[in-house]
Chains A and B, each alone.
Chain A
Amino acid sequence: MIVAVAIAIAALLFVFLAAPVASVVYTAFASGAGGFTAEYFRSFFQISLMRESFWNSLHVAAMSVLFASLIAVPLAYFTVRYRFRGALLVQTLGVLPLVMPPFVGAVAMQLLFGRSGSVNLLLNEAFGFTLPIMQGLSGVIFVESLHYFPFILLNLVVAMRNIDGAMEESAQNLGASGWRLFRRIVFPLALPGYVAGASLVFVKVFDDLGTPLVLGTTNMLAPQAYLRITSVGVEDPIGYVISVIMIAFSALALWLSARILKGRDYATLQRGGGGLRRRDLSPWQTLAAYAWVGLVLLLVLSPHIGILLMSFSRVWSLSVLPEGFTLAHYATVFGESSAMIGNTLLYCGLAALIDVVLGTAIAYIILRTRLPGRQALDWAASAALAIPGVVLAIGYLRLFRGVELPFAEGAFTASWIVLVVVYAVRRLPYALRACMAALSQLHESLEEAAGNLGATQARTVRRIVVPLMAGGILAGFVTSFITAAVELSATIVLSSSASQAPMSYGIYLYMQSIAGRGPGAALGVIAVAVVGVGTYASHWLLERRSADPDAAPAAMPAAATAL
């Protein structure tokens, strides 16, 4: 039974993940006669646009990591170190950007920060100069770092929370304080969290197709891959070369981070130990902290605010704020694109469902059975993280071209089912992590007790394991769902008709024309609302399930405040 399930999962992963990727790699290296050739790579580097795109992608990814770190590291430190109410704000701020994909806000960012955007209009009026924030690559870097810094923030906060207070106190006891204490003890101990977050940001930015496309910056790798495949054709080898390079860099980044993290599992919070001691801020410090958090919040929220303004604005061009407001865009969206909203719910719901079923099964096989080669399932499923959406989509186009659906009319790659499959494959690692975490927290004796009382393995899974994992499964479902809902890279490549497209594609289509910006923004607002409600609902459900989610540490006002 277990073996059959394992084989079925392995087969699915092979057909929908390994094989498409393999076909991409094969095409990039196969000569016309079927032999090996590096000719396509040579011609890739002979095209100056390609060389430029290559360096641009690296530059943008690296700079985005840098700027995201500059935002996230101080925020994380603040949240963990000081006792101030803004910490909750920071936490909220941490998830907000994730509910809206960067490309949605990109146009709004141009209206706010572009050459003749609100900020520069104001600056020019007041001081007579403008900031070229949104010009070319800087625009991409700006938008990406504002959107992806939460990956670093959240990972870093968790890592810092797990540092045993004694780790810091012993350093103080030996004479360290202030910046040196942070640099030598706190940050190195939290490094695994930082590296995990930073590598994720790098990969995300490197793979992102939507943002550069919407901003019109096509001299980067992902847009070039997309343009080659869609304009030159599925047979164009350069598209595959780009794909291989993208896979290589994603894999490299993830491999590097895994290597750095190896043997550095600083789960240092020990039995009976407390976390880092919270400090109180003086009134001035509190004021400064709030001001700074407020500024970051404003920046982070600017795409959201911009999108909201755009969705209600009659005309917004060359002015600080829109001139005139209207609900017409929403009417347009509900008239033209209500099907897209339904499509998103259907596709992402199905994909997330597949993910949690597979995730639970894989987690169980890895953690609870001695099946040979079980670890390979984990690697295979997680490998999806290293495969850029554009690449996987191109692989599908290549491998499944001409494959007809068994019970319906039309090609597999032209149907909506391919979107469900590609979402499920790409988001499986998220659901798998959540399921693994939930299962590893379950003590095995709970299952042994059920077995001892006469339950078979299958019934133990159904009656004991799955109910106890429910929280983790739900978390996995929601993560898969909301990240699939905002996925654009694979969607752009695989969406063939507007009637079957999900919201993300609809927003992208609208944003292509000046006239479509209003409705596009309106659809973006709706997407944010859908995702936001989903996130909130999952938090609510999770918190209702666990009696005390974060066994509130006894508030012990420090002695100094007793005055």
Chain B
Amino acid sequence: MNPVRVEAHNIRLSYGATPVLRDITLAVEPGEFFALLGPSGSGKSTLLRLIAGFNRQQSGRLLVGGKDVGGVPPWQRNVGMVFQNYALWPHMTVLGNVAFGLEERRLPRDEIRRRSDAALELVGLAGYGARRPGQLSGGQQQRVALARTLAIEPEVLLLDEPLSNLDAKLRVQMRQELLRLHRRLGITTIFVTHDQEEAMTISDRIAVMDQGVIQQIGRPIELFDQPVNRFVAQFVGTVNLFEGELREGTTFASPALGTLRLPAAMSPGFAGAADLAFRPHAVHLLDGDAAESERAGDDESLRLEGRVAGAEFLGEAVRYELRVGAATIIADRPHRRGQDRLADGAAVQVQVAASEMRLMPRQAATPASDG
């Protein structure tokens, strides 16, 4: 089966007076592994359920493979969904679960058997058919749920928080397995997660959602390096973020940091309310003496004076909490063997290269209400 495209055009949905999806437009390319990432209540699960047919939009169009599926009930859409809690039926065997969708399609008995076995084999559970779901571990249940969905050969695979019920180690393993399966089957896959690490590591592209609005769609690296607003910057990775106002080219007036002259190389190209963002690992830390000698450095960096307020040892790095004026800056300093952490209260100089900083024009906090 050729992979299909999934498109949403201006989809709106509200429960009573509460808008849940506001003007959602996106296109998932055929064969893409696409993540819907956002905090709880962002509307990501609602959107997924809408694609499966369990929710119905009030306006807008949903196209699967170019066909509008608006009025098609769930059982007539060929869109397979793996539920967060797997939803395996305890009154059936593993094989019974996997064969269910094929039986509902009234396929011949031997074909049902063949395809069920193939699906179980695909997820590495050949020979588990006679067991009951309750006799399986969480990871195995997850695989059965996957096999059950893949058995019907859906046009689109939907995964609702597929890894959230697994323990940390299994999660990493299952993540790889999902990727492997996806590469092998090439099926258009959309999955919902609130875990940015999960989304970043396996998806081709991610749509970051908040309050029923898609904040940004992009490849993981784009989202990390070029977030369009403070929500995306904060949700994807750890970030130092300062609000302020951009004046006269590169003067940034921030309540927390005071008035700064940003490196000329930044040339933001706009003025007005803005957020300044940089990642902890982009902060270069110099302790007292070294700072003196490097003072006459380049003009390409922002330099600030601060003091160490706290530290967490992460292994590969030490994460420092620095007090700079009224602000707190998080800085990761790579750890070298034998090196001690900087003492609390130690004076440090903070350097951030212009290329590592991002200025984002600030939008209104919530999107304009639907009208």
Contact = CB atoms under 8 A, between A and B. Distances in A.
Interface of A: 164, 166-167, 169-177, 180, 184-185, 188-189, 191, 263-264, 266, 268, 270-273, 277, 555-560, 562
Contacts of A557: 15-16
Contacts of A171: 89, 100, 104
Given A166-B83, A174-B100, A559-B57, A189 B74 contact: no
B149 interface: yes
Contact of A188 (B52, B53, B91): B91
A263 B135 CA distance: 11
A560 to B, nearest CB: 6
Contacts of B76: 175
B54 to A, nearest CB: 6
B6 to A, nearest CB: 15
A164 B90 contact: no
Given A189-B89, A557-B16, A180 B104 contact: yes
A171 B15 CA distance: 24
B87 interface: yes
B74 A169 contact: yes
Contact of B90 (A176, A266, A272): A266
A264 B132 CA distance: 11
B50 to A, nearest CB: 10
Interface string B131-153: 00010000000000100110010
18 contacts: A169-B87, A172-B73, A172-B74, A174-B75, A174-B148, A174-B149, A175-B76, A175-B104, A175-B105, A175-B152, A180-B104, A184-B100, A189-B91, A263-B134, A270-B85, A555-B16, A559-B13, A559-B15
B75, B84, B152 pick with most chain A CB within 10 angstroms: B75
B55 interface: yes
A191 B145 CA distance: 23
B104 A169 contact: no
Nearest to B13: A559
Given A167-B89, A189-B91, A271-B85, A173 B74 contact: yes
Contacts of B85: 164, 166, 270-273
A159 to B, nearest CB: 12
A177 B73 contact: yes
Given A266-B91, A272-B85, 11 more contacts: A166-B85, A170-B83, A172-B73, A173-B81, A174-B149, A177-B73, A189-B89, A268-B90, A556-B16, A559-B13, A560-B56
Nearest to A271: B85
A559 B71 CA distance: 13
B263 interface: no
B187 interface: no
A180 B75 CA distance: 12
Contacts of A272: 84-85
B81 A176 contact: no
Given A171-B100, A174-B104, A175-B152, A185 B75 contact: no
Interface string B288-304: 00000000000000000
B14 interface: yes
By Cβ-Cβ distance, the 8 closest A-B pairs, closest first, are A174-B101, A175-B104, A166-B87, A170-B87, A172-B74, A177-B75, A166-B83, A188-B91
Interface residue tally on B, bucketed by range: 20 to 34
Contacts of A559: 13-15, 55-58
B28 interface: no
Nearest to B101: A174
B144 to A, nearest CB: 11
B83 A169 contact: yes
B75, B87, B100, B145 pick with most chain A CB within 10 angstroms: B87
Interface in B80-102: 80-81, 83-85, 87, 89-91, 100-101
A176 B74 CA distance: 9
A173 B89 contact: no
Nearest to B83: A166
A557 B149 CA distance: 30
A498 B322 CA distance: 91
B79 interface: yes
A403 B43 CA distance: 74
A558 B149 CA distance: 27
Contacts of B56: 558-560
Contact of A176 (B13, B75, B80): B75
Nearest to B75: A177
A277 B52 CA distance: 15
Contacts of B105: 175
A266 B92 CA distance: 12
A164 B88 CA distance: 10
A558 B46 CA distance: 13
Contacts of B152: 174-175
B91 A172 contact: no
A177 B76 CA distance: 9
A167 B76 CA distance: 17
A164 B105 CA distance: 24
A525 B83 CA distance: 53
Contacts of B15: 556-557, 559
Nearest to B16: A557
Interface string B155-182: 0000000000000000000000000000
